[in-house]
């Protein structure tokens, strides 16, 4: 059994969330930039904040894995 399997699962699950989040906000980006829809802009900003949080969590988990391999 791979000793890093739990790390891999966690990171891959969060990476999938990143992909899903980007896909889900794509229409709002278009609505905001092409249509000037202010509410869509608010949703884009929230999604980008959520993306930032997920990215930071992934970075921390990658660092933990890297450091535990030493």
Per residue in 5-51, pLDDT (tens digit) is: 776 788 889 999 999 999 999 999 999 999 999 999 999 999 999 99
What Cα–Cα distance (Å) separates residue 64 from each residue in 25, 58, 59?
A: 30, 10, 9
Structural domain total, the chain: 1
Instruction: Please give the residue range of the domain that contains residue 46.
Output: 5-68
Q: How confident is the model at residue 1 (pLDDT cuts 50, 70, 90)?
A: very low
pTM of the model: 0.80
Instruction: Kindly tell me if the per-residue pLDDT of 61 is higher than 70.
Output: yes
């Amino acid at each position: 059994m791979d000793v890093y399997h739990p790390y891999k699962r966690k990171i891959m699950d969060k990476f999938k969330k990143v992909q899903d989040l980007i896909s889900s906000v794509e229409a709002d980006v278009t609505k905001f930039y092409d249509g000037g829809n202010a509410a869509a802009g608010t949703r884009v900003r929230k999604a980008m904040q959520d993306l930032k949080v997920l990215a930071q969590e992934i970075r921390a988990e990658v660092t933990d894995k890297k450091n535990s391999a030493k």
